[in-house]
A and B are shown apart, each in its own frame.
Chain A
Amino acid sequence: DIHMTQSPSSVSASVGDRVNITCRASQPITIWLAWYQQRPGKSPKVLIYPGPHLQSGVPSRFIGSGSGTDFTLTIDSVQPEDFATYFCQQAHSFPLTFGQGTRLDLK
């Protein structure tokens, strides 16, 4: 199985800050990575899908980058609605696996 490791596990930021969340795969997955946002008590929502591409309707401040084993989700100018938990997921092979999550909270 491909193991996904996110860092940091939590990060504090102020509105307007730039935040970087990284995701490392235990083996190469080329471009096959997605990023999700999950607010408390809600279902995950896809932000970035493999390419990377920005999902329709998602603000352009969410930027995905990387390939191979190392990936980054950048939130450029954090907004109040962005305080949530973020997960990466490898879409390269089964079983599909997820990172442990990164909680973004208000500093």
Chain B
Amino acid sequence: EPEVTQTPSHQVTQMGQEVILRCVPISNHLYFYWYRQILGQKVEFLVSFYNNEISEKSEIFDDQFSVERPDGSNFTLKIRSTKLEDSAMYFCASSDDVGQGVGGYTFGSGTRLTVV
């Protein structure tokens, strides 16, 4: 079954540093997303991306965040100047044009970001 892959699995960074989280969505999917999950809390939507532009973003996704699809396979989330409260699990997801059913909306295994 096709997978969404994320790297690295764990990233430790110092406060104020820039981080880039990487994702390879499922190849025939058209919509790409980033979510985050603070330890013990629910999964929260950050941003959706379609046709090479942001289609929707949440209040969490402020000017410190950016996304990019630099080539035909990768989808990245950049945090310019990390804060302690950015520590969380970050999930990439992708969906096809229907976005439903098994494999229609798929999550990666996540990158655990720890800001120290």
Partners in one complex: no
- Interface of B toward A, CB cutoff 8 Å: none
